Amino acid sequence: MLWRTIHRWLGLVAGTVALVLGLTGAVLSLDPVLSRWQAAPTPNGLSVAQLAERVAASTPGVEEIRRLPSGEVVVYAFDNGQARASRVDPASGQVLGAYQPSATMRWFKNLHRSFLLGDAGRLAAAGIALAMGLISVSGLVLLARRLGGWRQLGGRVRGTGVQRLHGVTGRLVLAVLLLTSITALTLSAATFGLVTLDAAPEPEVASSAATTGERPVAQLPLLRELPLRDLRKLNFPSIDDPADTWQVTTAQGQGWIDRHSGQTLAWQPASTAQRINDWAQLLHTGEGAWVWAPVLGLAGLCIPMFWVTGGMLWWQARRQRPHLASNSAPAQADTLIFVASENGSTWGFAQALHAALVQGGHRVHTAGLEGFAVPASARQVFVLAATYGDGQAPAHAAHALKRIARTPATPARVTVLGFGDRQFGAFCAYAEALDAALRERGWTTLVPLARIHQQSAQEFVRWGEQVGQALGEPLALRYRPRIPRTSELELVSRQDYPGGAGEPAAILRFKWPQVGWLARITGRALPRFAAGDLLGVLPPDGAAPRLYSLASSSRDGFVEICVRRRAGGVCSGYLHGLQPGARIQAFIRPNPAFTLGATRRPVMLIGAGTGVAPLAGFIRGNAGRAPMHLYYGVRDPALDYFFEADLQRWLDEQRLASLNTTFSRTPQGGGYVQDALKRDAARLRKLISGGAIVRVCGSQAMARGVAQALDAILGTVGLSVQQLKAHRRYAEDTF
Amino acid sequence: MKKPVLTTLAAAGALALPALAQSREVTLSTQLKNYGGDGAYLAVYLTDAKGAYAGTLWVAGGKAKYYKHLADWNRLSAGDAKRLQGVTGASVGAGRTLKVTADLADALIDAGYEIHVDAAVEDMRDSPSDIRVPLTAAGAGKAQAGKAYIQSFSYQLK
């Protein structure tokens, strides 16, 4: 994870200097707009010859006419010992006033390109531009990873307000900043002479002998054919030198014209390097592109925002690392714990293991996995490794695998515990790779590799019991999950169902608290969420939070979950006891692998029981009317047909394209939901081979049944659930 | 109002004709106007009696991409591969003075040679041959004004 390191450190260090470039760039971007606004319009079809004739008549001693990128026409003259620069109306050739470029803008320009420090400053600014390019590219890579791949780059960015602000703005502005950085480097290369812009040496030209007298400018063929819009610069021949020529410069090249014969003596096309430089100039400064300039200005203004929010994100991640009580020195420790964690959550588990082992009388040393080393004193080693994205190592442990492969085995027993999410194809893949590398090297183990799904405290405690047995001593892991900042939610309505298995169920709807933007930005409010994200609910007795799939998104303006009351269930019992007006403490846990971004593709929704809740949320939010097909397993329509009336309405509104229900506890009810799939095999084959997305939600047994049924159905067209998962078209949310 | 004056003292390369060892030190001073812009690029060079390029005495400003704005010098000196050798320095700010010394062969003086100064400033006009004065013993010490950027130009012979 080199990218994160690059992004973080370049951002924090070079970003500080880039503030100056961003702010001065924003000021400078005003210039093309103001100049364009002041510029007199250039009439269509006006030729350079016509303008030159009019200017020559109105202004004595003209030496040069320039057309600036903004469309302004400036005339330089020398008359009666006076040098003059005037703005001229292109239509009439009349002088509008004196031309004097703004000293303020010049100061900002010099601050922007050289920090007012000459060549050293120019080099520094070029270095910052390079850093900016790397920050942009690394930001893009990180954003793609965060959103789950390059194809998901357009997806919703979730997280705290700061994360969203950084990510969403980044996605919009990144391309502009990258372009700005590339063009800055292009311009610097020309400034430092790394590329030569001039085509070839200028041709040796001279006007013919003055036999015919001066040819009036209106009769010069090259200038008659040249529209004013294409002009950069026209130099009049010198009064003193009869051999001098007209010289005209356009974007395409330069021409020289005989002042007497009127013939074009030479034409030199602009070099490729010059054309590239011209484009870089236009794209970097917005000169001559007054619509583009404000885009550049806004991108410049975003740099301070990125710097501040990026700094906040870095600081928050730093604070995530817990403090360890009584961490022994490695050489004194009999037990070592190594942690590989992307966002710091695995450290919480390490802390619990550390504390329990210390209580058992061990001398324990806990450290990051990047420092893997086993002194002779160590008897047992634990490696707690989270898997990030598609099986990658967390950033800080990027080289740990190589290090382990180099470390010779000792008698110490090394146990690996993986953390991950079953939604991803590569569940705990990094932990598996570590385990394989250790066994390859000949390390023995205390207990075999175990895998923890979604930071489950229960699974962790169970693993601790196994470890305790293997050590021959009690090991009581007291893992207190790091509870995110919670918000208070007020229950506004509940809809009760008798429930299919003697367990009543209810759809609970809470009010989404409206808060100010400041609270939202700083993460002190319930963040935005999508249907399929999880609501963490804290029971009042301090027990661990329970997670429920959300049946609504923040766009709906309320928070809705469907809860079955389980016998002895602490949290479900608590929720079922609530009446409207009651308040709970809750937080949002994003579930990006399962939620559904905006799509036009067909969507197969397969759910049973309360598992229909997130699917109902998808349908409710289907404003684009993507063809959504719901396969819905109910036990008994009289007992647990959740969302029945809503589903009928959504069918009428075409939010739902088709509804297929099965009732497993009624005669001729159609059996389980997977039975309905088998009956519709031909249709499903067609939909899924046509690119449909699949979402499955329900019990683990139901999800297994559905996957088996679909594998059987899709086998004939060479597809499988595994493949669909790999292409992120198939995701499950199970309980 | 008296402006602070920067004096750039530079020893330009000796410009001598073969077989004429006799030479004299010439000091050229170019004072710029307060034209209100960035540092000016200047090229100080000589042409002979026929107007042909005879040599470069000094080029102020180090970025080759701007040399085309010193149009006369750039055109005339294009064939001189050594035109920049040992005779370049920083650009000259508005209101400042550039002083250049050069060893010139005696034969160049009072022989129809002319001193030219081309000047250019970013985002402002180009002024090729902003000033053009004959190199004569009688003209030494006499200040002259240029067209666009040069407040006064003079040279001293030793």
The mean pLDDT of chain B is 85
Residues of A in contact with B37 (CB under 8 A): 101, 106
The predicted pLDDT at position A542 comes to: 67
The predicted pLDDT at position B3 comes to: 30
The mean pLDDT of chain A is 88
Residue B5 has pLDDT above 90, yes or no: no
Q: What is the mean pLDDT of residues B54-65?
A: 91
CATH architecture of A603-734: 3-Layer(aba) Sandwich (3.40)
- The minimal CB distance from A85 to the residues B63, B125, B147 is found for B125
Q: Å from B104 to nearest chain A CA?
A: 27
Distance CA A143, CA A173 (A): 13
CATH number of the domain where residue B150 is located: 2.60.40
CB contact under 8 A, A76 and B125: yes
The residue range of the domain holding B92 is 7-157
- The minimal CB distance from A202 to the residues B62, B63, B75 is found for B75
Closest-approach residue (CA) in chain B for A195: B65
The predicted pLDDT at position A425 comes to: 59
Is B1 a member of any domain?
no
Residue A199 has pLDDT above 90, yes or no: no
Closest-approach residue (CA) in chain B for A274: B65
The predicted pLDDT at position A423 comes to: 59
CB contact under 8 A, B38 and A235: no
pLDDT digits (tens, 9 = 90+) for A598-612: 788 999 999 999 999
CB contact under 8 A, A190 and B65: yes
Least-confidence region, from A13-22, A43-52, A311-320, A378-387: A311-320
DSSP A516-576: -HHHHHTT-SPPP--TTSEEEEE-TTSPPPEEEE-SS-GGGTEEEEEEE--TT-HHHHHHH
Distance CA A394, CA A10 (A): 19
Work out the percent of chain A whose per-residue pLDDT is above 90. Answer: 57
The predicted pLDDT at position B4 comes to: 30
The predicted pLDDT at position B18 comes to: 46
- Does the domain at A487-589 match CATH 3.40.718.10? Answer given as no
Q: Is A85 on the interface with B (CB under 8 A)?
A: yes
Q: Is A83 on the interface with B (CB under 8 A)?
A: yes
Q: Is A276 on the interface with B (CB under 8 A)?
A: no
- The minimal CB distance from A106 to the residues B38, B71, B75 is found for B38
Interface test with B, best of A68, A191, A205, A276 (most B CBs within 10 A): A191
A134 confidence band (pLDDT: 50, 70, 90): very high
B1 confidence band (pLDDT: 50, 70, 90): very low
The predicted pLDDT at position A485 comes to: 78
pLDDT digits (tens, 9 = 90+) for A626-656: 999 999 999 988 888 999 999 999 999 999 9
Closest-approach residue (CA) in chain B for A83: B148
Closest CA to A698 of A688, A711, A707: A707
Chains A–B, number of C-beta pairs less than 8 Å apart: 42
Fold of A321-471: Rossmann fold (3.40.50)
- Contact call for residues A385 and A351 (beta carbons, < 8 A): no
Of the two residues B132 and A592, the one the predictor is more confident about is: B132
DSSP B70-109: SHHHHHHTTT-TTTTTT-EE--B-TT-EEEEEEEEEGGGT
Is B34 a member of any domain?
yes
The predicted pLDDT at position A709 comes to: 93
Interface test with B, best of A68, A73, A74, A198 (most B CBs within 10 A): A198
Q: What is the mean pLDDT of residues A106-126?
A: 93
pLDDT digits (tens, 9 = 90+) for A58-85: 999 999 999 999 999 999 998 888 888 9
- DSSP three-state, residue A229: helix
Q: Å from A390 to nearest chain B CA?
A: 49
- The minimal CB distance from B147 to the residues A78, A85, A101 is found for A78
Is B86 a member of any domain?
yes
Is B37 a member of any domain?
yes
Q: Is A76 on the interface with B (CB under 8 A)?
A: yes
Closest-approach residue (CA) in chain A for B127: A63
pLDDT digits (tens, 9 = 90+) for A11-41: 999 999 999 999 999 999 999 999 988 888 8
Closest-approach residue (CA) in chain A for B81: A201
- The number of distinct structural domains making up chain B is 1
CB contact under 8 A, A197 and B65: yes
The arrangement of strands across the sheet holding A413-420 comes to A364-368, A335-340, A380-386, A413-420, A450-453
With residue A496 as reference, give the H or E element that holds it: strand A487-497
Q: Å from B16 to nearest chain A CA?
A: 26
Instruction: Residue A584: count other Cβ atoms within 10 Å of its Cβ.
Output: 22
The predicted pLDDT at position A330 comes to: 85
Distance CA A23, CA A44 (A): 37
- DSSP three-state, residue B115: strand
Least-confidence region, from A43-47, A424-428, A634-638: A424-428
Distance CA A561, CA A552 (A): 8
Distance CA A292, CA A288 (A): 9
Residue B2 has pLDDT above 50, yes or no: no
CB contact under 8 A, B125 and A110: no
